[in-house]
Structure 1
């Protein structure tokens, strides 16, 4: 007996699917960028494998979707939207989310939940959604999404519209990152309460230049230029979500032999950046950690952007 996607035959066992998504660590670049005659908000995320979200979706005989924990409303919405897009709006199931991502800090916790949920639904149903559709649904589920659905592709992503503004040819130079929090209480930022930045004409022109620099950094796999883009973008964000002692952090990176500083443009994490292929990267990273400790930042973490 043949059944369409989303319908279970009488004796067919319940189906279950799984999905997971790794986090990010703020952005290399975020601002507004020209696309044709219009301006679009866009970003390029910093890959980070320190945290992830895992989801499972089990098809049930119900006609609705439940989620655990119950407060994961965005992931629930994403699962419902994915089922609708797959032609199975009446398919019921239970969505389970397990993650270790601190919310509101710039690790992309909501996007990770949303993408993991959609991946689990696709796995359970046995059908795949094209990446542009996943991007659109992610924005519909959470209003603004990070670019994690793009995988290893390097692209300027329209995070409030769900599309690629520009895909860059090449790859990101691998970086070693010494990460840390910048807020006094470590609670991060209420991203929903944070209004979208209103950029000046001067800032918009600066983003045009940074976009071109990033294009060259990716084409040439250039860690120093990538670091300069991240630092400049972080500095531009100071008018909108200031990081305390940013000038000092920039100087610490320079003293330790780093290539720059990156921040979460709507969170409180930041990182000192180092060329991961520099033969002296270990001693540079240790020097950076010591400098941060003397500056009063005692809790740090470390990761590579290509692992």
Structure 2
């Protein structure tokens, strides 16, 4: 049999726009575990290309940009996973990562990198890994991950364990989201925040929100989802303490938003609107103007659906200022830390969201 030859694989992963719900929940065995439900967002993502070099030692792995240490770990772990499936010894190779996800806003940029890399390495072996395997490798690479490998399906996900606690349904209710960035887009270093402990009353409260969200997804009730997101965001403020949060919530109430959502490990946030409500164009414009007039950077309008009539155009909004450089914490994000720094050699746009 001839020796295996070099083969290139490619992978892609999208991002999210923070969380709809995050807290501590009970699994099927009644055990407490951290969990979250993310708000999916398409249009931005990470892309990876991996060229494997059979016959080279597995530690001979080059990565561009060189600071993507979590992605490099993911590549090595995926080689170990896939090589035996092809009855080949693990080998080295070249990995290149590009993308346009803003860094440090809590949009899952590091997880997107990791999942894109896992998919690229698997593709180079001609292997398609199951989402559960991708999640397991992602957690091993960065200690916690977002459920981006599930491609926007709403699930309650145990981010530190890489497993689904509950599949909530096929899709979220239709929503229009007016995105913004609190604190001028500066990253939130949640490692610097005091660790929060949860008692039985907290767990009961999170379980009530979980039940309401389950019902909202099952019935397509966007208003109920907005209530859950707002309650979760307000609970998150007990730790994050964004000074503009009350202003954001007030804008939402005044302009008829269904609720607000935030990233529990970053600065991104959003006003949730009902696309079926009358005057959507006026409502979106009003939200953008109110945010800007209160010093909150409006960033992007997007939807949770693809088959509904398109969102009406609104005036362009300024981009978010570049996010200051942050350290990639060796402990992994675990939704308590920042993302990797944006460096001059990084083929990723500065940390800013596209205008509308």
**Alignment correspondent of 1:132:** 132
1:274/1:299 Cα in 2 relative to 1: closer, same or farther (>3 Å)? closer
Superposition pairs for residues 204-223 of structure 1, below 5 Å? 204-223=203-222
Unaligned runs of 5+ in 1: none
| Greater shift in the superposed pair: 60-69 or 261-270 | 60-69
Structure 1 residues 76 and 191: alpha-carbon distance in aligned structure 2, compared to 1, 3 A threshold? farther
Question: What is the distance in 2 between the residues matched to 1:195 and 1:165?
Answer: 26
**Cα shift at 1:200:** 3.6
- Aligned to 1:240, the other structure's residue is in SS state helix
Give distance in 2, aligned partners of 1:76 and 1:305.
Answer: 32
Given the two structures, how large is their TM-score scaled by the length of structure 2?
0.79
The whole-number CA distance in structure 2 between the counterparts of 1:55 and 1:170 is 28
Alignment of 1:275-290 (within 5 A): 275-290=274-289
Q: Please list, as runs of the form range in 1=range in 2, the aligned pairs for 1:1-307 lying within 5 A after superposition.
A: 1=1, 8-9=3-4, 12=5, 14-35=6-27, 36-61=29-54, 62-63=56-57, 64-86=60-82, 87=84, 90-184=90-184, 186-191=185-190, 197-307=196-306
Q: What is the alpha-carbon distance in structure 2 between the residues aligned to residue 136 and residue 172 of structure 1?
A: 25
Q: Choose between structure 1 and 2: higher strand proportion.
A: 1
The answer to whether the 8 A contact 1:83-1:89 is kept is: no
Query: For residues 143-184 of structure 1, what are the alpha-carbon distances to aligned partners after superposition, in whole Å with 9 as ceiling and x for unaligned?
Result: 110111111322100000110111113420121111111124
Q: State the Cα deviation string for residues 166-217 of structure 1 (Å, max 9, x = none).
A: 1113420121111111124x22123555565422433221101000000001
Give the unaligned 5+ runs of structure 2.
307-356
Counterpart position of 2:349: none
Alignment length (residue pairs): 298
Q: Any conservation in 1 of the 2:17–2:40 contact (CA below 8 Å)?
A: yes
| CA gap 1:51/1:89 in 2 versus in 1, 3 angstroms | farther
| Superposed CA offset, 1:250-297 (max 9, x none) | 121122121100000011111111123435322211111111122122
SS in 1 for 2:240: coil
- CA separation of 1:85 and 1:277: change in aligned 2, threshold 3 A: farther
Larger mean CA deviation between 56-65 and 174-183 belongs to: 56-65
Q: CA RMSD in A?
A: 1.8
**TM-score if structure 1 supplies the norm length?**
0.91
Evaluate the alpha carbon distance shift between residue 291 and residue 83 of structure 1 in structure 2; reply closer, same or farther with a 3 A threshold.
same
